[in-house]
Chain A
Amino acid sequence: MNNEWPLWEVFTQKKSGLPFEHAGSLHAPDKEMALQNARDVYSRRNEATCIWVVETKNIVSSTPEDVGSFFEPSNDKIYRHPNFYKTPGAAFE
């Protein structure tokens, strides 16, 4: 029997209007406890004004094998890369 509680991913927002960022993960039996644990583990030092928790199994992620078909095609299309403004989160600017 698996006695481990499910794993949850925690996202915190520093200030209203800012994007939520992944803070880390934790174990909890259900969503209310996950939210409370997230508050205790990831926002003890004023890091957040809002928290999202989502059970890890509900996250759909691309896999390392997808790298080629998903991301590389944009590398050689130079016209897609802006020269005069910054793209948030882009690997190179």
Chain B
Amino acid sequence: MKNTSEHLFEYCLRLGDTPLILGQRLAEWCGHGPILEEDIAMTNISLDCIGQARAFLTYAGEIEGKDRTEDDLAYFRNEREFRNLLITEQPNEDFAQTMLRQFLISAFHKHFYSELMRSADKTLSALAEKSLKEVNYHFRHSSEWLKRFGNGTEESRTRLMNAMDNLWRYTGDMFDMDETDKHLVECKIAADLDKIKTLWNKSVEEVFSEAGIDMPKDVFMMSGSRKGKHTEHLGHILAEMQSLARSFPGASW
């Protein structure tokens, strides 16, 4: 049985790894955005994510008490030790898929951080408050795009629906609750994901209806992030993200 501090370490890894991997994915667009303005927007969002990741991983290191820094945790853990949500590691593909992924995650974070602000853990509560301002903008930005894809041309709508086929099955993973979640919810530290799921559904449904698309039904949901079971994409992301730090340990700018 894990004690509360071991659960909290695990929980902070989840909170840190999710924005870390999403930020890394978004950074792949740097210099490749469909227009200059959107290139800057996506890298801005990426930087917001990396900032959130740094804060949560630093805190994870403090909780663990083994002198691991944010960098140690980001660059020197293996695939199975990562706890990011599966949806974050899914490929960018086209702009529609990137924006749909962003929307589904931002809608989650919007409600998740609002709830986490009430955490009995003061550090988590403060980090949630800071992050919420950022994700509110990410949510707004990606929702506006969804409405335009849905109501735009035949092609924009087709691309959005293709992205839906690729991504929807990873949304269930966001709400899986294991013993860590349950234990920390009892301690009033963690957010209750059942509650978040209801709010998330409502927000997603609202934007989908403005975009003129239906909520997918009866889709088999993938899960695994809580246990570090990832899709085949994470290994490739880590190879790219960690290669420099692992080739030159301790290197600095």
**Footprint of B on A, CB under 8 Å?**
5, 26-29, 32-33, 36-37, 39-41, 44
Contacts and interface: CB of A to CB of B under 8 A. Distances in A.
Contact of B144 (A5, A27, A32): A32
A40 B37 contact: yes
Nearest to B41: A40
Most buried by A among B37, B41, B140: B37
Contacts of B144: 32-33, 36
Contacts of B141: 36
A29 B148 contact: yes
B40 A44 contact: yes
Interface of B: 35-38, 40-41, 44, 137, 140-141, 144, 148
A40 B148 contact: no
Given A29-B148, A32-B144, A33-B144, A40 B35 contact: no
Given A33-B144, A36-B141, A27 B44 contact: no
Nearest to B37: A37
A37 to B, nearest CB: 4
A44 B41 CA distance: 10
A75 B25 CA distance: 59
Nearest to A33: B144
Contacts of A27: 35-37
Most buried by B among A32, A36, A39: A36
A14 B44 CA distance: 20
B207 to A, nearest CB: 14
11 contacts: A27-B35, A27-B36, A28-B37, A32-B144, A33-B148, A37-B38, A37-B41, A39-B137, A40-B44, A41-B37, A41-B40
Given A33-B144, A36-B140, A36-B141, A26 B44 contact: no
Nearest to A5: B35
A28 B37 CA distance: 8
B229 to A, nearest CB: 35
Contacts of A40: 37, 40-41, 44
B64 to A, nearest CB: 34
A79 B51 CA distance: 58
A83 B31 CA distance: 53
Contacts of A33: 144, 148
B47 to A, nearest CB: 9
A33 B152 CA distance: 14
B35 A44 contact: no
Contacts of B36: 26-27, 41
A16 B186 CA distance: 45
Nearest to B38: A37
B208 to A, nearest CB: 18
